[in-house]
Amino acid sequence: MTIVDNVSADVGGVVNDDEWFRHLGDQDPAGSAAQRTLHDMLVRATRTQVWRLRSQLPGAGPTDLEDLAQQAADDALLAVLRKLDTFEGRSRFSTWVYKFGVLHAGAAVRRQAWRHREVMLSDSLPVVDHDHLPSEVAEGDDLVRAVRRAIESALTPHQRRIMLALLVEQVPIDVLAERLGTTRNSLYKTVHDARQRLRHALIVTGHLEPQSGRRTS
């Protein structure tokens, strides 16, 4: 059972979706009450997820974690309200909502974990690890040299820095988007384009096999 299932089951018997979520967009007491119910549900989801990920925040106490959960719930509430018209009713509304809470809690923990860490936008790959057999070292060196050449020749400077930050330095994509003043979707597009270029370059050098053509019926 996932965290979403756990939290959903926790309040599933208390909140009847059909009785309140339809009022979320109303500018009246019913709408205000519906938003309070929604926020309470989101706090349950974010609090559970923040505590689940607390190992990423050494030194954070219960008060710090609760503040983070509340902030994530506030952000998730705004996100849910913006996307209400995308709810298709394929699952319970509460289950759909909890996914927003889990997503925003995870992003909040990652941002907090990287708050005082410098994001390195390197232009080069790290040195290959030589703690292996000679044959493995030779094969690994050859591939690393091929990848290094492809990164240096096939990618734009922007693509190179983004790829190395995300895939080598392991900077969370939402953290990198925030530091660079861009969006996750923009970074995903950059990574997609860069991978296409790298794949083509490695096919040309014989380090990857060409993709087989589509089968025809």
Dump pLDDT digits (tens) for 150-178: 888 899 999 999 988 888 888 889 889 98
pLDDT truncated to tens, each residue of the chain (217 aa)?
444 444 444 433 344 555 678 888 888 888 888 899 999 999 999 999 999 999 989 988 999 999 999 999 999 999 999 999 898 888 888 899 999 999 999 999 988 888 767 666 666 555 545 454 444 445 556 777 888 888 888 999 999 999 888 888 888 898 899 889 999 899 999 999 999 999 998 888 887 788 765 444 4
Task: Tell me which residue range forms the domain holding 49.
Answer: 3-113
User: What is residue 208's predicted lDDT score, i.e. its pLDDT?
Assistant: 78
Contact 121, 84 (CB under 8 A): no
- Of the residues 54, 79, 113, the one at which a domain ends: 113
Same domain, 109 and 36: yes
Same domain, 142 and 102: no
User: What is residue 66's predicted lDDT score, i.e. its pLDDT?
Assistant: 96
pTM of the shown model: 0.61
Domain membership of residue 45 (yes or no) is yes
User: What is residue 11's predicted lDDT score, i.e. its pLDDT?
Assistant: 39
CA 33/CA 78 separation, integer angstroms? 15
What is the number of domains present in the chain? 2
Domain membership of residue 30 (yes or no) is yes
Cβ density class 15-52: b for 16+ within 10 Å, e for less: bebeebbebbeeeeeeeeebbebbbebbbbbbbbbbbe
Same domain, 88 and 10: yes
Domain membership of residue 123 (yes or no) is no
Q: Which of 80, 98, 70 is nearest to 10 (CA)?
A: 98
Same domain, 147 and 102: no
User: What is residue 48's predicted lDDT score, i.e. its pLDDT?
Assistant: 96
Domain membership of residue 96 (yes or no) is yes
For residue 86, the one-letter residue type is T
Same domain, 8 and 109: yes
User: What is residue 159's predicted lDDT score, i.e. its pLDDT?
Assistant: 92
Q: Residue 119: what are its φ and ψ, rounded to 5°?
A: -90, 115
Q: Which of 52, 42, 55, 32 is nearest to 7 (CA)?
A: 42
Same domain, 92 and 190: no
Q: Residue 176: what are its φ and ψ, rounded to 5°?
A: -65, -40
Domain membership of residue 125 (yes or no) is no
pLDDT tens, position by position, 59-84: 889 999 999 999 999 999 999 999 99
CA 30/CA 106 separation, integer angstroms? 31
User: What is residue 125's predicted lDDT score, i.e. its pLDDT?
Assistant: 57
Domain membership of residue 211 (yes or no) is no
Contacts of residue 23, Cβ cutoff 8 Å, sequence gap at least 6: 30, 31, 33, 34
Same domain, 108 and 37: yes
- Of the residues 113, 143, 178, the one at which a domain ends: 113
Contact 169, 146 (CB under 8 A): no
Tokens of 50: 């923040």
Same domain, 90 and 160: no
Tokens of 144: 């690393």
* CATH (domain of 142): 1.10.10.10
CA 157/CA 180 separation, integer angstroms? 15
- Of the residues 44, 79, 113, the one at which a domain ends: 113
Same domain, 16 and 71: yes
Domain membership of residue 210 (yes or no) is no
* CATH (domain of 33): 1.10.1740
Same domain, 87 and 185: no
Same domain, 105 and 142: no
Same domain, 84 and 7: yes
Domain membership of residue 138 (yes or no) is yes
